[in-house]
Structure 1
Amino acid sequence: MTTAPTPYPIGTPGTPWGDAERVEWLSRQARQRSYEAEVLTVVERLSARFDVEEYGQLTYGADHYPLMALRSRDWREDLPVVLITGGVHGYETSGVHGALQFLDGRAAEYAGRVNLLVAPCVSPWAYERIHRWNADAVDPNRSFRADGQAEESSALMRLVAPIRDRALLHIDLHETTDTDESEFRPALAARDGKSFEPGYIPDGFYVVADTENPQPGFQQAIIEAVEPVTHIAPADEKGEIFGSPVVARGVIQYPLTQWGLCASVTNAPFKTTTEVYPDSPEVTPEQCNAAQVAAVCAAIDYALAQG
């Protein structure tokens, strides 16, 4: 695995960043891909089959991004709601394209059975820069709370509020990458004036359940569905993945609400966060997208079977 650079090139070790450090960090973030070309064009094409809405606008300097969601065209008040989110961390590519691929190729199977609400790219500024944070050096996936500092997160919370108590399922599509260890965790430590403690990146797919409502059968159904597509991350020598105990094969737990994570935005009985590993030499981008689709389908199938 990649070794993190030390010390981080911005700031003074042990001292939290101020405005000058944040400005320097922002100056280093260059656009590397196009949200309009890679995401909005797909959303436009899908608008022939789904209702599309703009649920917010992001503005960072001269950059403006419409935040887009897609809904089932045959939305019915008597059907359960399935929420799918991707791109909360913009650099986690298969979360975005897996959500869009599900809509394009598999969503029709659930017509008349569930209402789908899909926000495929929650953080478009970060998507373009292949980054974890937004332009304010804030992690949207720690900001799903009333006092959250990320507009990306606040906008999604406003979108979801009407279905918060109606949702059957929320699946939040993520990736764990080698750059978590080489860039993003060192940057976090530097930003907060803390010491960086090197770790390791789990080699394979895993899911994150809610500590308060873990639903072990649901989580395992996803693991079993994804395994034919990509390998499952093993526990380390401590029996952990990313410092959290492995409670079942490929499953760890986080306190979703306490940490302000995206998967806490509804009161759905079934919640999970997927974590695809795209840096494995054993997988391709197509397999990563397919793993996300397999996870979504397995999650919906399991949740429907329980109802």
Structure 2
Amino acid sequence: MERFHPIGVPGEPWGEAEKRQWFESQSVQRSYRDEVLARLDGLDDTFEVYQYGALSIDPERYPLMAVKVASERADVPWALITGGVHGYETSGVQGALTFLASHASSYRDRLNLVVAPCVSPWGYETVNRWNPNCVDPNRSFTPGTDVEESASLSGLLADLGEDVLVHIDLHETTDSDESEFRPALAARDGLQLEPGAIPDGFYTVGDTENPQPEFQAAIIAGVAEVTHIAPADDHGQIIGSDVTQPGVIEYRNAEWGLCAGVTRARFTTTTEVYPDSPQATPAICISAQVAAVRAGLDFVLANV
């Protein structure tokens, strides 16, 4: 097997030494405190900001924060918004924060909202999909997981003690998936690198076991007013999965340990924007995430 990644021996899974080498090659590229925690500090008293955990690599630097409506109501459903499960996916984090600052208060009488804007703060600072242990948190939402980012969010939900009706998980698909993450993943697992393609545009991922096509379609329609929707490729697919309707594919959320499956909510979706598109900007991607959240919540409120 030809070498396609600088770490490890091609064809051999990484051991602890290779994982340590990968970790030591990472560096801080932006500030979680300045770009996330400071924005939470700026929220008004409509919402309660609280800590639900911390990353052991540096608990002071990486507190895990959530926001919920300050006055919970027993007669309205619960909704969860998550961002930054993959820390490098910027618009998921900033989209969740922008929704909180600009729109969330308008839902307070109709929904009990919980927002975890940056599930993986070390990944946010170092612009990484993995956590410090070379593990993808978005494949780790499984019973008894020891992955801190995933276990902490699961603990937040257990402490909440409420059934969540809708969960919207905000993500990006970037060119770096193909240039950095997929080569690292194949090298880590001792596999041959299989090249792929990055879709140009927004799409959502529904749950194969609970697809909710009308809900997904409402999100696509809302986002289409902000940015373009990813077309299917020549095989009728997006990133190797069949397109079930324009801009929508499906995964087995719970089976794959995806964040979107952690609540087993009736309405779930994973959003995916494409920040490297020539038709997009960082501001457009953030606006698309906000549009997705609003369209999803509005659909649920109108149809439940």
Counterpart for residue 181 of structure 1: 178
Task: Give distance in 1, aligned partners of 2:268 and 2:158.
Answer: 16
Question: What is the CA distance between 1:232 and its match in structure 2?
Answer: 0.4
1:105 matched to 2:102? The reply is yes
Task: Give distance in 1, aligned partners of 2:60 and 2:208.
Answer: 38
Task: Give distance in 1, aligned partners of 2:221 and 2:3.
Answer: 39
Q: 1:73-92 counterparts in 2 under 5 A? A: 73-92=70-89
- SS class of match (2:254): helix
- Amino acid corresponding to residue 244 of structure 1 in structure 2: S
- SS class of match (2:42): helix
1:118 to 106, 115, 118: 115
Task: Give distance in 2, aligned partners of 1:259 and 1:295.
Answer: 23
What is the aligned-residue identity percentage? Answer: 59
TM-score scaled by structure 2?
Answer: 0.97
- SS class of match (1:52): strand
1:22 matched to 2:19? The reply is yes
Task: Give distance in 1, aligned partners of 2:161 and 2:199.
Answer: 32
Task: Give distance in 1, aligned partners of 2:278 and 2:3.
Answer: 26
Task: Give distance in 2, aligned partners of 1:62 and 1:112.
Answer: 34
* Aligned residues between the structures: 303
Contact persistence 2:45–2:70 (CA under 8 A): no
Counterpart for residue 143 of structure 2: 146
CA deviation profile, 1:7-46 (whole Å, cap 9, x unmatched): 1110111100001101110111000000001000001111
1:190 matched to 2:165? The reply is no
1:171 matched to 2:172? The reply is no
Contact persistence 2:88–2:129 (CA under 8 A): yes
Q: 1:32-71 counterparts in 2 under 5 A? A: 32-60=29-57, 64-71=61-68
Larger mean Cα displacement after TM superposition, 156-165 or 13-22:
156-165
Please list every run of at least 4 consecutive aligned residues from structure 1 whose deviation after the TM superposition is greater than 3 angstroms: 61-64, 162-165
Stretches of structure 1 lacking an aligned partner (at least 5 in a row): none
Counterpart for residue 215 of structure 1: 212
- SS class of match (1:157): helix
1:266 to 247, 263, 266: 263
Stretches of structure 2 lacking an aligned partner (at least 5 in a row): none
Counterpart for residue 284 of structure 1: 281
Task: Give distance in 2, aligned partners of 1:22 and 1:118.
Answer: 32
- SS class of match (2:255): helix
